Structure formats: C-alpha cells, structure tokens
Amino acid sequence: MAPRTLQSATVEGDPGVYEDQNVHMIYEEIASHFSSTRYKPWPIIADFLASLTTGWVGLDSGTGNGKYLPLPADRPGEVWTIGLDRSKNLLDIARRAGSTGIVREVVVGNVLDNPWRPGIFDYAISIATIHHLATHERRCSAVKRLLESVSPNQGRVLIYVWAIEQDELSKRKVVEDQDPTPTIGKDVVVPWVLSTQQTAVTEKCATPRVYNRYYHMFAKGELVGLVNEAARELGLQVEPKAESTTKNIRGVEVVQDGWERSNYYVELKLWQT
C-alpha cells in the first residue's frame, strides 16, 4: 500500500469532550477488530518487562487489549501488571490476554487520574496512549501521573508515543507541509476502516465505516521535553542519582530514549536521597 497522507486535526472545545468523541468512543466501537491487529510486542517494551524484579507490581496505563499484561512470558506470575483503560470493551479482551487462560487484573479509569495509593507501583508503562490526549497540558499531566504512581525510591517508567518520523514500512505518512525539523508535534486524525463483516450483524450499512481517531504525533525531543516539564512540576531533578550526602532530594534519571518503529520512547528511573 502506498503511504497515505494524514489529515490534520484541530482540537476544538473542551479537550476532555473532544477525546471522548475522537478517541474513547471509537475504541469502544472498534475494540475487537482493533485487538485482532495488535499482538506483537515491541522489542524495547518486551526487554523492559523481562528485566523486572520478581515480586514487582506495575501499572499499564492505557493497556488497550492488554497485550503487555502476560509479559514476561517465560516467567509467568513472577511480576503482576495491572491494566488501566478507558474502554470497557477493550478491557473485556484484556482480562483474557495471552493464550494461557490466566485471568488478568484490569481497571476502568482515566490516565489523567490516580486511583491508587501514591507511589505504590514498582513500575509503570504507557504505550501508545499519551498521544491520544488533546493538549500539551493534558499530556504533561499524564506523565506526572506516571511519575506519581511509582515508588519514589526505585520506580521505573517506560513511555511510548507515536512519532512524526515514520519508518518506511509504515503505511502512513504525515501531513505534507511539514517542517523538516519540527520541535512541536502535529495533531492528526488517523482513519480506522471497519468493513461491514466486522460490524455487528444487526447493522445494515453496506459501505465500510471509517472512524477518525485523534493523535498527537510527537516531534523529535518533544517526549523528553515533556518528561522534564512534568518532573520539574513535581519537584524532581532530571539527572542520574549523584553520590551526594544531601538528604531529601528526589529525582528521575532518563535511562534511555530513542526512536523505534515509528515511535519515540523514554525509560525513566526514580531516585531519592
């Protein structure tokens, strides 16, 4: 398939209502078809989950169909990842994620809320989720919620978002008039085509239905910038833990950041003295 040009989006009105209409309602509708196309974990995420300590409990914020909940597959039951998502229909799928018949723990909730004891998780992942939030401020809040959800002492965080920079295998291409080195991402809508066989049998429409999902495609450096801003607002220093004797300093280290298969990622580790 030839690369398609994506249509720009303009976020209007209340961003929460905009997300309800242009993200949440769509996932609720396309849940089972969407899930059937999402099965392969990305390598960096699989490696991150494989490196977790036995006995750890984590949060998958925006878990979708829960494809990361069964990982690491070779150490079942040694860590527990709890999935949070806005879509009830996706969670019905997520609770059975993996082929083992093991039941997963999932919770309906918003990634902008923290319905947990503060700092109780050992790790948190947010994969392909923050790019669905319609303003910079909301994306920053989502990062703050992740930083608050994990242990201030040793909590680990992995965030993945969609990049303007797409690989050649991708079916998609960003808006044509793009600046070659943008510093701020692009708001776009990405069509999801649901053919008639995939919709409910009661539905009598002959033409395929197209759902336009809202995405904020991140520019290079934008994700790390967002982490810096979120950390600053929480009073965290963004640097590796120093060999210092000063007490009561809290910080977050950027362990790695980069680009993988049309996405930007950042891995973080919290620390305190």
Give contact residues for other proteins (rule: CB under 8 A). 16, 53-57, 76-80, 82, 84, 86, 88, 91-92, 95, 102-110, 112-117, 120-122
Nearer to other proteins, 43 or 76 (CB): 76
Of 42 and 56, CB closest to other proteins: 56
- Closest approach, Cβ 260 to other proteins, in A, equals 29
Q: Which is nearer to other proteins, 107 or 193 (CB)?
A: 107
Taking the complex as a whole, the smallest distance from the CB of residue 81 to other proteins amounts, in Å, to 11
CB of 200 to other proteins, least distance (A): 19
Burial 82-120 (b: 16+ CB within 10 A, else e): bbbbbbebbbebbebbbeeeeebebeebbbbebebeebe
Query: 146 or 266, CB closer to other proteins?
Result: 146
CB of 14 to other proteins, least distance (A): 9
CB neighbours of residue 122 within 10 Å? 20
- Is-contact 239 251, C-beta < 8 A? yes
For 202, what's the count of Cα atoms within 13 Å in the CB-facing half-sphere? Answer: 0
- Cα 139 to Cα 236: distance, rounded to the nearest angstrom: 18
Provide the minimum distance between the beta carbon of 88 and other proteins in the complex, in angstroms, as a whole number: 7
Give whichever of 65 and 166 is closer to other proteins, judged by the CB atom: 65
- Nearest 5°: the CA angle 92, 94, 97 is 125
CA dist., res. 153 & res. 251, Å (int): 9
